[in-house]
């Protein structure tokens, strides 16, 4: 979210950034609302000042026994008091208009982000090689269903489309993946584990920019709380409306949670399998840091997400997203795309974003630099570390055998209770 003063000082930067995202200029609209708001505030302040001055003049008039003057001043004060609520209501309305206008604007892409839509995404590097099979590899849902351990039909009876029931060794494999990811980030990458709320208030969703623009993609309860679409929401908001001492930064937080997404805009996309679900498990990484540290923190978070995939010996590539393909709150994003031989395509398994101070302004999250009495907004970063369901998909497709069984990766062996190969359920 942008500071109105910054928009007044840099309207061209805002419009240029929006254009890079393929959006129309917005500075003129924002500045018009801001000018109206400032005019109302000035009028209200002038009335308050006149009311205070008139109140003092009433005392002086009474001291001089000038009752006509005192009476006229009291009538003036009464008129002012009657006018002020109207202006206060007007200010509240224009404040809301400005908040809505600013709240609907996405973050500005960083200078080194390539311009364009998804076709302009730039490959940064690859790791490993594609698996070689002496048979035609199957997509994950065929592997899982053949094993008798992945059940979409029963899930549909229970909940509807875009749900799955995992059983036996596949359910254990999902749990093992999550535990392996968490242990790696805790023990090797310096993250602190958090068990956060799964239901949050609207203000919390606004802070990380899921609201208001993406309300239709979320699930809301009858009590008005929202189910989190990612633990990023809860973790990032741990510093909302607070001032953190610089010595406490960077804060690196991780959580493994269920995530819930309505997928309102995904009609017809990935309708088979586990790729796009209403409910899924994800290990999330969040960092809160200073502006000076955020670029290095972004690279470190990417390395952390890559590390778990390297341990699983999965082939993947990293791409820098183009300006028109980034998420709403991001100023720069790296996507990790894992190779799925059954699908014959690379698919996103992690997205690692630097949001700069965009979310911090929406949350009023600040820090106090050492030796400085002034506070500054923190920078926030988030990334999948990684999506557990999609990692399960990648393992099923890359570790499948010709007989339909699936070999358990060495990195997961300590979590699988001696199961080295997943075979069809009896």
The pLDDT of residue 136 is: 97
The rounded percent of the chain whose pLDDT value lies above 70 is: 99
The pLDDT of residue 203 is: 97
Tell me which of 151 and 270 has the higher pLDDT.
151
Q: Is the peptide bond before 386 cis (omega within 30 degrees of 0)?
A: yes
Tell me which of 55 and 168 has the higher pLDDT.
168
Instruction: Return the residue matching tokens 């339909």.
Output: 404
- Mean pLDDT for the chain overall: 95
The pLDDT of residue 272 is: 87
- Cα–chain-centroid distance for residue 323? 17
pTM of the entire predicted model: 0.92
The pLDDT of residue 68 is: 86
Longest dimension (CA), the chain: 108
Distance CA 423, CA 168 (A): 10
The pLDDT of residue 75 is: 87
Mean pLDDT of 81-91: 91
Alpha helices in 64-151 (DSSP H): 67-103, 140-147
The pLDDT of residue 121 is: 98
Q: For the chain, how many residues are written?
A: 426
Q: Is the peptide bond before 250 cis (omega within 30 degrees of 0)?
A: yes
The pLDDT of residue 77 is: 84
H or E element: which one contains 315? none
**Assigned token pair, 115:** 């311009």
Instruction: Tell me which CATH code domain 118-422 carries.
Output: 3.30.930.10
CB 419 within 8 A of CB 408: yes
**Assigned token pair, 252:** 């690196």
49-60 burial by CB neighbour count: b if 16+ within 10 A, else e?
Answer: eebeebeebbee
The pLDDT of residue 3 is: 93
Q: Which residue, 134, 177, 178, is CA-closest to 341?
A: 134
Distance CA 289, CA 367 (A): 9
The angle subtended at Cα 222 by Cα 216 and Cα 225, nearest 5°, is: 70
Mean pLDDT of 269-273: 82
The pLDDT of residue 7 is above 80: yes
Domain ranges in the chain with CATH number 3.30.930.10: 118-422
Instruction: Return the residue matching tokens 């924002």.
Output: 30
Domain ranges in the chain with CATH number 1.10.287.40: 4-103
Instruction: Tell me which CATH code domain 4-103 carries.
Output: 1.10.287.40
Q: Which residue, 298, 262, 317, 322, is CA-closest to 383?
A: 298
Which residues, 6+ apart, have CB-to-CB distance to 407 below 8 Å?
399, 401, 420, 421
The pLDDT of residue 426 is above 90: no
- Band (265; pLDDT cuts 50, 70, 90): low
Q: Which residue, 410, 403, 415, 393, is CA-closest to 348?
A: 393
Catalytic residue numbers read: 261, 276, 348, 351, 390
- Band (70; pLDDT cuts 50, 70, 90): confident
- Band (264; pLDDT cuts 50, 70, 90): low
The pLDDT of residue 64 is: 85
β-pairing, 316-320 vs 332-340, is antiparallel
Tell me which of 57 and 332 has the higher pLDDT.
332
- pLDDT tens figures, 304-359: 999 999 999 999 999 999 999 999 999 999 999 999 999 999 999 999 999 999 99
The pLDDT of residue 266 is: 64
- Band (219; pLDDT cuts 50, 70, 90): very high
């Amino acid at each position: 979210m942008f500071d109105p003063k910054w928009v007044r000082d840099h309207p061209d930067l805002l419009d240029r950034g929006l254009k890079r995202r393929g959006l129309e200029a917005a500075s003129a609209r924002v500045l018009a609302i801001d000018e109206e708001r400032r005019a109302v505030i000035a009028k209200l302040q002038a009335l308050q000042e006149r009311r205070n001055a008139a109140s003092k003049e009433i005392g002086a008039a009474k001291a001089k026994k000038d009752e006509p003057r005192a009476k006229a001043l009291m009538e003036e004060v009464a008129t002012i008091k009657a006018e002020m609520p109207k202006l206060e209501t007007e200010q509240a309305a224009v404040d809301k208009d400005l908040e809505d206008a600013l709240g609907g604007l996405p973050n500005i892409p960083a200078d080194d982000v390539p311009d364009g839509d998804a076709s302009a995404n730039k490959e940064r590097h690859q790791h490993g090689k594609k698996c070689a099979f002496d048979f035609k590899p199957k997509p994950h849902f065929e592997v899982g269903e053949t094993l008798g351990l992945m059940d979409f039909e029963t899930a549909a009876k229970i909940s509807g489309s875009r749900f799955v029931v995992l059983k036996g060794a596949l359910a254990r494999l999902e749990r093992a993946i999550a535990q392996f990811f968490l242990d790696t980030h805790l023990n090797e990458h310096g993250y602190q584990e958090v068990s956060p709320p799964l239901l949050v208030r609207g203000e919390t969703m606004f802070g990380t920019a899921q609201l208001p623009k993406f309300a239709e993609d979320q699930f809301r309860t009858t009590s008005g709380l929202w189910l989190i679409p990612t633990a990023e929401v809860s973790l990032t908001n741990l510093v909302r409306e607070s001032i953190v001492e610089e010595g406490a930064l960077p804060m690196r937080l991780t959580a493994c949670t269920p995530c819930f997404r309505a997928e309102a805009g995904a009609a017809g996309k990935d309708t088979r399998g586990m790729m796009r679900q209403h409910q899924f498990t994800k290990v999330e990484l969040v960092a809160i840091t200073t502006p000076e540290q955020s670029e290095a923190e972004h690279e470190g978070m990417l390395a952390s997400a890559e590390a778990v995939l390297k341990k699983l010996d999965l082939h993947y590539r990293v791409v820098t997203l183009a300006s028109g393909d980034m998420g709403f709150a991001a100023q720069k994003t790296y996507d990790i795309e894992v190779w799925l031989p059954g699908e014959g395509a690379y698919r996103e398994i992690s997205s690692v974003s630097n949001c700069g101070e965009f979310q911090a302004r929406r949350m009023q999250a600040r820090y106090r630099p050492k030796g400085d009495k002034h506070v500054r907004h923190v920078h926030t970063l988030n990334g999948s570390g990684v999506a557990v369901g999609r990692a399960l998909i990648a393992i099923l497709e890359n570790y499948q055998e010709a007989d339909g069984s699936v070999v358990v990766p060495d990195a997961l062996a300590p979590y699988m209770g001696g199961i080295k190969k997943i075979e069809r359920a009896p």
